[in-house]
């Protein structure tokens, strides 16, 4: 270590020598926690003001410290101030920056706080900020799905269960099912934020401070709803990180489901959608290929989001109170999940917004696979036939059609009667896709008027999401 620039270590008084290289390398987190610098500086400003009010900094000292923190913030943002190889973590690097600017006065800022309450505060501030960015991106994806739903509001499509044609649905109804999932994802994040809005600052290492600080004032200044009720919990609690990672993993699973559907819809077998050139890739060998890579990566990224959640839960399992260094392992999964979502959401939104839906093909295939069979059975039920018998009769009809290679509506009156005594010519009344859709008019059903209502409500939710992302 050169004599000119001794490393800024935040401990050392009781140590006779420096750490072994292997320890220093293991201990180091600044290469990933540097992104917390703006939040650490925010917390430092609030802490300086609280020290001022406690009489532990005089006004001139407080002003100098605040000015230096502002300068450090600017320099850090522009890259003029950067962490050095021997800055262990973001707190060490920023303390060095402060000492470089105000000399030993900078050392006063450490009074009454510990890296344990600082890091917990920084990570909460970072996440509350980034959750708003994620919600803004989710709102864009919801908007893309809503515009496609508007464009296909009158288009029937095959509805599937077990990946088999089941009953016709409006294609917009299917798109809105994806929107419902994303609406829940946003509401989970909004709920998460209520629990995350607790400030650990003031907890110190674990027991609180003997100095006359004002944790509530600091909490308030940093936009938290309140200060933590228990200082031991304040420095140990990573529920907020794990809960965020669950929300992120759930978004990943929803993106994966949408991705998988789009992959299928874009196959030559389905041909329901064609992806825009800007959101598909080609093959280096097969000139005809147009690959749905965005949808596949959306599906694949779910794996790493689930991994991020799993890795933090495993770190937390079995940790005793209060702060343990294992907790340093909380940050990379959280950062990875934030980065992943901010990367994948705009790509999926763009892919959905620009995909071309083949409405003629959807309409033409909506009743394939005897998808109106349930309508015939329910028609018989309305005529008083027990559902069990109706199901049986229509099952025979489907077999008859399969053997004779025809559709349900092609069967003659005589043949209907041969298949089952219940199958009188009036069953043909219900053999229309439009009729089948309109009949499903119970709340939440696929009838056009219900789907239109759903669309209006979804727009209201998305507007609220956009608002929350900016003010919430
Ligand atoms: N880099 C540490 C972390 O991420 C900061 C807190 C360190 N505290 C300590 N007592 N060593 O958790």
The residue among 83, 111, 139 that closes a domain is 111
Point out the domain boundary residue: 416, 431, 446.
Answer: 431
If one compares 284 and 97, the residue with the highest pLDDT of the two is 97
Share of the chain above pLDDT 90, in %: 93
In a domain, 467, yes or no: no
238, 353: one domain:
yes
Residue 44 lies in a domain: yes
Answer yes or no: do 91 and 232 share one domain. Answer: no
Residue 3 has pLDDT above 60, yes or no: no
Round to the nearest angstrom and report the end-to-end CA distance of the chain: 48
Q: What is the pLDDT of residues 194-248, one digit of tens each?
A: 999 999 999 999 999 999 999 999 999 999 999 999 999 999 999 999 999 999 9
pLDDT attached to residue 263: 98
pLDDT for 15 equals: 82
Is residue 425 over pLDDT 70? yes
Residue 2 confidence (pLDDT): 37
Strands 156-161 and 164-170: antiparallel
What atom of ligand 1 comes closest to residue 331's alpha carbon? 4
**pLDDT at residue 275 above 60?**
yes
Residue of 428, 374, 408, 461 lying closest to 139 (CA atoms)? 461
Residue 330 has pLDDT above 90, yes or no: yes
Which of 89, 122, 319 for a ligand 1 pocket mutation test, highest count of atoms within 8 Å of Cβ? 89
Q: Is the minimum distance from the CB of 30 to ligand 1 under 6 angstroms?
A: no
89 lines ligand 1 (CB under 6 A): yes
Q: Which residues are 156's β-sheet partners?
A: 170
Same domain, yes or no: 336 and 416: no
Average pLDDT in the 52-56 region? 97
Whether residue 328 has its Cβ less than 6 Å from ligand 1: yes
User: Does this model's pTM top 0.85?
Assistant: yes
Structural domain including 134 reads 123-152+171-210+224-365
If asked whether residues 255 and 354 sit together in one domain, one would say: yes
Measured CA to CA, the distance from residue 450 to residue 443 in angstroms comes to 7
CATH number, domain at 425? 1.10.40.30
Ligand 1 centroid – CA 373 distance (Å)? 64
Q: Is the CB of 29 under 6 A from ligand 1?
A: yes
Asked whether residue 116 is domain-assigned, the answer is: no
Output the CA 314–ligand 1 centroid distance in Å: 18
The closest alpha carbon to 448, from 460, 433, 468, belongs to 433
For 65-113, write each residue's pLDDT tens digit. 999 999 999 999 999 999 998 999 999 999 999 999 999 999 999 999 9
pLDDT tens-digit readout, 391-423: 999 999 999 999 999 999 999 999 999 999 999
Percent residues over pLDDT 70 in the chain: 99
Calculate mean pLDDT across residues 314-320: 98
Residue 430 has pLDDT above 60, yes or no: yes
Number of structural domains in the chain: 3
Within 8 A by CB and 6+ apart from 30, the residues are 83, 87, 88, 89, 90, 92, 93
Distance 323 CA to ligand 1 centre (A): 8
Atom of ligand 1 nearest to the CA of 90: 1
Task: Please tell me whether residues 297 and 237 are part of one structural domain.
Answer: yes
The size of the chain, in residues, is 472
For a ligand 1 pocket test, name from 32, 118, 119 the mutation site with the most ligand atoms within 8 angstroms of its C-beta.
Answer: 119
Mean pLDDT to the nearest integer, 382-387: 95
> Does 189 lie in the same domain as 82?
no
d(CA 9, ligand 1 centre) in Å: 12
Indicate whether residue 291 lines ligand 1 (CB < 6 A).
Answer: no
Q: Are strands 273-274 and 356-357 parallel, antiparallel or unpaired?
A: antiparallel
Q: Report d(CA 142, CA 110) in Å as an integer.
A: 45
My answer on whether 351 and 258 are in the same domain is: yes
State whether 319 and 346 are in the same domain.
yes
CA-CA distance, 330 to 119, in Å (whole number)? 11
Query: Which of 93, 99, 42, 36 is closest to 68 using CA atoms?
Result: 99
> Alpha-carbon distance 185 to 345, whole Å?
13
Q: Which atom of ligand 1 is nearest to the CA of 327?
A: 12
**Interatomic CA distance for residues 6 and 182, integer angstroms:** 51
Rounded to the nearest angstrom, the distance between the alpha carbon of 325 and the centre of ligand 1 is: 6
The residue-averaged pLDDT of 269-283 equals 95
Tell me what pLDDT residue 344 has.
Answer: 98
Q: Which atom of ligand 1 is nearest to the CA of 89?
A: 1
Is the pLDDT score of 274 beyond 80? yes
- CA dist 274 and 202 (Å) reads 56
| Dihedral in degrees, nearest 10, Cα atoms 149, 245, 461, 157 | 20
pLDDT of 5 > 70? The answer is no
Residue of 36, 92, 116 with the most ligand 1 atoms within 8 Å of its CB, for mutation: 116
Mean pLDDT of 259-265: 98
Distance CA 86, CA 23 (A): 12
Going by C-beta distance under 8 Å and a sequence separation of 6 or more, which residues neighbour residue 410?
A: 401
Sign of the dihedral through C-alpha 346, 134, 121, 108: positive
Average pLDDT value for residue range 349-359: 98
Burial class (CB in 10 A: 0-12, 13-18, 19+), 91: buried
Please say if the pLDDT value at position 4 is more than 50: no
What is the arithmetic mean of pLDDT over 104-124?
97
| Cβ partners under 8 Å of residue 349, min gap 6 | 137, 140, 141, 143, 144
- 127 CA → ligand 1 middle, Å: 18
User: What pLDDT shows up at residue 6?
Assistant: 63
Regarding whether 142 and 196 lie in a shared domain, the answer is: yes
- Tell which of 341, 365, 389 closes a domain: 365
- Answer yes or no: do 361 and 379 share one domain: no
Q: In Å, what is the CA distance from 112 to each residue of 50, 52, 92, 203, 285?
A: 10, 12, 16, 9, 64
| Catalytic annotation, residues | 162, 283
Is 158 part of a structural domain of the chain? Answer: no
- Would you say residue 10 has pLDDT above 90? no
**Per DSSP, what are the bridge partners of residue 356?**
274
Could you report the per-residue pLDDT of 148-184, keeping only the tens digit for each? 999 999 999 999 999 999 999 999 999 999 999 999 9
Say whether both 237 and 297 belong to one domain. Answer: yes
CATH number at residue 33: 1.10.275.10
Whether 456 maps to a domain, the answer reads no
Q: Are 238 and 329 in contact (CB under 8 A)?
A: no
**Cβ proximity of 199 and 121 under 8 Å:** yes
Select the more confidently predicted residue: 72 or 18.
72
100 within domain boundaries: yes
CATH number at residue 232: 1.20.200.10
Question: Do both 203 and 342 map to the same domain?
Answer: yes
Q: Does the beta carbon of 115 sit less than 6 angstroms from any atom of ligand 1? A: yes
How many other CB atoms sit within 10 Å of the CB of residue 31? 10
List of residues 6+ apart from 70 with CB closer than 8 A:
none
């Amino acid at each position: 270590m050169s004599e000119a620039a001794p490393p800024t270590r935040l401990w050392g008084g009781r140590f006779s020598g420096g750490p072994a290289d292997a320890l220093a390398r293991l201990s180091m987190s600044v290469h990933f926690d540097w992104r917390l610098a703006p939040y650490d500086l925010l917390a430092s400003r609030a802490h300086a003001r609280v020290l001022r009010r406690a009489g532990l900094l005089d006004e001139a000292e407080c002003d100098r410290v605040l000015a230096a923190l502002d300068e450090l913030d600017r320099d850090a943002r522009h890259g003029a101030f950067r962490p050095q190889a021997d800055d262990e973590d973001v707190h060490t690097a920023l303390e060095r920056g402060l000492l470089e600017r105000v000399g030993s006065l900078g050392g006063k800022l450490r009074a009454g706080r510990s890296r344990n309450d600082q890091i917990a505060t920084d990570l909460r501030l970072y996440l509350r900020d980034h959750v708003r960015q994620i919600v803004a991106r989710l709102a864009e994806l919801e908007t893309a799905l809503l515009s496609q739903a508007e464009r296909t509001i009158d288009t029937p499509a095959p509805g599937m269960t077990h990946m088999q044609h089941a009953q016709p649905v409006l294609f917009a109804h299917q798109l809105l099912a994806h929107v419902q999932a994303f609406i829940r994802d946003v509401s989970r994040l909004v709920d998460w934020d209520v629990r995350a809005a607790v400030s650990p600052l003031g907890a110190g290492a674990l027991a609180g401070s003997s100095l006359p600080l004002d944790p509530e004032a600091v909490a308030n200044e940093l936009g938290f709803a309140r200060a933590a009720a228990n200082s031991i919990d304040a420095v140990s609690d990573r529920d907020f990180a794990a809960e965020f990672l669950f929300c992120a993993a759930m978004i990943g699973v929803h993106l994966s489901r949408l991705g998988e559907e789009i992959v299928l819809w874009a196959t030559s077998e389905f041909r329901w959608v064609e992806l825009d050139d800007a959101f598909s890739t080609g093959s280096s060998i097969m000139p005809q290929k147009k690959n749905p890579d965005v949808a596949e990566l959306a599906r694949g990224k779910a794996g790493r989001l689930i991994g991020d959640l799993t890795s933090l839960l495993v770190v937390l399992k079995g940790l005793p109170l209060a702060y343990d260094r294992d907790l340093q392992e909380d940050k990379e999964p959280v950062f990875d999940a934030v980065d992943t979502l901010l990367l994948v959401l705009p790509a999926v939104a763009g892919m959905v917004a620009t995909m071309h839906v083949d409405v003629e093909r959807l309409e033409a295939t909506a009743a394939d696979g005897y998808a109106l069979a349930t309508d015939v059975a329910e028609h018989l039920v309305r005529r008083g036939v027990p559902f069990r018998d109706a199901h049986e009769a229509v099952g025979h009809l489907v077999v008859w059609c399969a053997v004779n290679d025809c559709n349900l509506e092609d069967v003659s009156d005589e043949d209907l009667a041969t298949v089952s005594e219940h199958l009188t010519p009036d069953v043909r009344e219900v053999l229309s896709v439009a009729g089948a859709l309109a009949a499903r008019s119970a709340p939440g059903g696929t009838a056009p008027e219900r789907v239109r209502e759903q669309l209006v409500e979804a727009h209201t939710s998305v507007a609220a999401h956009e608002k929350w992302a900016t003010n919430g």
